[in-house]
Amino acid sequence: MPDLDPFAAAERVGVIDLGSNSLRLVVFERLGAAVFPLFNEKVMCGLGRGISSTGRLNPEGVAPALVNLRRFVAFARAIAVDHLAVLATAAVRDASDGEAFAAEVERQCRVPVKIIDGAEEARLSAAGVLAGIPDANGIVADLGGGSVELVCVGPCASNSIAGAAGQIGQGISLPLGPLRLAEFGDKTKVLSETIDRALAGASVLRAAAGRKLYLVGGAARAIARLHMEHTQYPLHIIHRYTISRRQAEGFLDIVGRQSRKSLERITTISRMRLDLVPLAALVLRKLITLAGPQSVVFSALGLREGYAYGLVPAEERIADPLIAGYMVVGRRQSRFRLDGDLLQRWTSPLFGDFSETVQRRHRAACWLSDLAWSEHPDYRAKQAFIRSLTLPFAGSTHADRVFVATALHARYGGPADDPVKEPTRQLLEERATQEARTLGLALRLAYTLCAGSIELLAELRLDRSGATLSLDVPSESGLFVGETVQRRLDAVARSLSMTPAIRRRETILAAGA
């Protein structure tokens, strides 16, 4: 990856998603391969409501859509967006007056509207999923208000094309959006048969068997929030929230039978989306039965992110969006010119051989290791834990987040039994939790030795030999010894159940000497 200038001007990309149920503007900030959401606003317009019976856009949704489109475009121009796209999906492409509506938007807003077909909508949604889950392998299902897009991603994709971060198969679009299905009212049998007929011809679902089903879209996110509340899950971050197939089937059966009144107790879901959640649950339940995935993974990234990541030049793309994000944030918020990779190499002798998953966790923590330097000393550990746990990084699993947060908590001197860590402790294995704490203590030692000037670590070396943890320092230097250095080396050694020692070339000063 090219060396990023942390103070370089970032490109701003605006995407207006003109959907069947909602209208949304997201402004992304792009620096190299890293893309961050800068602004995100949604308005529920219901353009696609009634389209199955009338064939036209909902007249009650057209007026507010135009008002908010004008506002979104004006806002994007006010904050100097470099690139603005208006993407219209199922409602506009299916309605007999869809093209006329798009033309009116262009006239009022002076911006082109791109009406995308179902295959392109599926491709963009898949590209978004791959941008946040590069190793995705299975089926992406984008559950919008008016349609459901299905597309295979990863190694299982045959006749695939290169996506933002992987392989994307040929997608399909089915008229199974909950806003469209709501027109059946209480005709339960007709509704069920309609869904069954549409899914019966979706041969792409066979690629999900034994793999994963990746869910995208507002209705899917609402269901994820419901499940989190139902299970009292401690981390309210939807991206990469994962449940087993059996859990998903049982829960969707429950949600599909709920009334609006029952769901209104859930305050994290938009009131205008509540009516559609049981219908979305019914579609997903049947889809999972046919597809037979191993597990269900919710993705917060979809069509809009797929479009934004698609603007990253090929020469700037890297395979791991997690590291790209951590590098940018780390360099922008550190005191000095941070080199997280040097820190990762310096601490690596403590841990032996790395798997790829473990190495990227260590690397991510090292790149964020100066995150909380400007906080009050009494609150640095807590703030480092919370901020790193919740940063909007694509590619980060929930276990990754807890690992990095635990490491940074220790790096800033947080105690092992700090209550702030308790709610998320269940999301990381005990062995990984101890490893994260050891890494954090090693980073605390590193910053004590170099005061943030990471290049000074080239003069030092950590070494494990038998039961001894040694810090090798130059024989004539007074920079790297003293009570604080000894105390923090002792802490690292205790976390490894080893004996600490400071070595000056051939002379060894044992701990406490």
Confidence of residue 512 (pLDDT cuts 50, 70, 90): very low
Please tell me the distance from the alpha carbon of residue 332 to that of residue 370, in angstroms, as a whole number: 10
Tell me which residue has tokens 């041969």. Answer: 203
Domain boundaries for CATH 3.30.420.150 within the chain: 118-302
Average pLDDT of the residues in 125-135: 93
Please tell me the distance from the alpha carbon of residue 156 to that of residue 206, in angstroms, as a whole number: 10
Strands 461-465 and 468-473: antiparallel
Please tell me the distance from the alpha carbon of residue 320 to that of residue 300, in angstroms, as a whole number: 17
Q: Which residue has the higher pLDDT, 329 or 304?
A: 304
3-state class (DSSP) for residue 97:
coil
Residue 54 near residue 62, CB atoms below 8 Å: no
- Terminal-residue alpha carbon distance, the chain: 45
The predicted model scores a pTM of: 0.89
pLDDT at site 168: 94
3-state class (DSSP) for residue 334:
coil
pLDDT at site 10: 66
Domain boundaries for CATH 1.10.3210.10 within the chain: 321-510
User: Residue 224: what residue type?
Assistant: A
Domain boundaries for CATH 3.30.420.40 within the chain: 11-116
- Is residue 260's pLDDT more than 70? no
Residue 132 near residue 394, CB atoms below 8 Å: yes
Q: Give the pLDDT confidence of 83-123 residue by residue, as tens digits.
A: 999 999 999 999 999 999 999 999 999 999 999 999 999 99
Confidence of residue 510 (pLDDT cuts 50, 70, 90): very low
Please tell me the distance from the alpha carbon of residue 265 to that of residue 226, in angstroms, as a whole number: 10
Q: Give the pLDDT confidence of 198-238 residue by residue, as tens digits.
A: 999 899 998 888 999 999 998 899 899 999 998 999 999 99
pLDDT at site 161: 53
406-424 in b/e form (b: 16+ CB < 10 A) is bbbbbbbbbeeeeebbeeb
Average pLDDT of the residues in 294-313: 94
Query: Which is the CATH superfamily of the domain at 321-510?
Result: Hypothetical protein af1432 (1.10.3210.10)
pLDDT at site 313: 84
pLDDT at site 508: 43
What CA–CA distances, in Å, run from 363 to 390, 400, 403? 18, 11, 11
Please tell me the distance from the alpha carbon of residue 298 to that of residue 237, in angstroms, as a whole number: 10
- Is residue 469's pLDDT more than 90? yes
- Is residue 280's pLDDT more than 70? yes
pLDDT at site 158: 60
Q: Give the pLDDT confidence of 174-193 residue by residue, as tens digits.
A: 999 988 998 887 788 888 99
Residue 295 near residue 243, CB atoms below 8 Å: yes
- Is residue 344's pLDDT more than 70? yes
- Is residue 148's pLDDT more than 60? yes
* 276: Cβ contacts below 8 Å, ≥ 6 apart: 21, 145, 178, 179, 182, 219
Strands 22-31 and 113-115: unpaired
Residue 258 near residue 278, CB atoms below 8 Å: yes
Confidence of residue 513 (pLDDT cuts 50, 70, 90): very low
Residue 351 near residue 440, CB atoms below 8 Å: no
- Burial degree of 66 (CB within 10 A; 0-12, 13-18, 19+): middle
Q: Quote the tokens at residue 124.
A: 């963009």
Does domain 11-116 sit in CATH 3.30.420.40?
A: yes
Tell me which residue has tokens 């999972």. Answer: 288
The long-range contacts involving 100-103, CB below 8 angstroms and separated by at least 24 positions, are 101/57, 101/62
pLDDT at site 272: 60
Query: Which is the CATH superfamily of the domain at 118-302?
Result: Exopolyphosphatase. Domain 2 (3.30.420.150)
- DSSP conformation letters of 439-495: HHHHHHHHHHHHTT-GGGGGG-EEEEETTEEEEEE-TT-STT-SHHHHHHHHHHHHH
Which DSSP symbol is given to 427? G
pLDDT at site 351: 93
What mean pLDDT is reported for the chain? 89
Q: Give the pLDDT confidence of 154-176 residue by residue, as tens digits.
A: 987 765 555 445 689 999 999 99
Share of the chain above pLDDT 70, in %: 90
- Is residue 401's pLDDT more than 90? yes
pLDDT at site 106: 97
pLDDT at site 4: 47
Please tell me the distance from the alpha carbon of residue 126 to that of residue 172, in angstroms, as a whole number: 12
**485: how many CB neighbours lie within 10 A of its CB?**
17
User: Residue 462: what residue type?
Assistant: L
User: Residue 284: what residue type?
Assistant: L
Average pLDDT of the residues in 466-487: 86
**247: how many CB neighbours lie within 10 A of its CB?**
14
What CA–CA distances, in Å, run from 320 to 130, 191, 317, 361, 363? 10, 42, 9, 12, 12
- Is residue 467's pLDDT more than 90? yes
Please tell me the distance from the alpha carbon of residue 99 to that of residue 75, in angstroms, as a whole number: 24
In sign, the C-alpha dihedral spanning 63, 67, 69, 70 is positive
Tell me which residue has tokens 């001197």. Answer: 413
Backbone angles phi, psi at 366, to 5 degrees: -65, -40
3-state class (DSSP) for residue 238:
coil
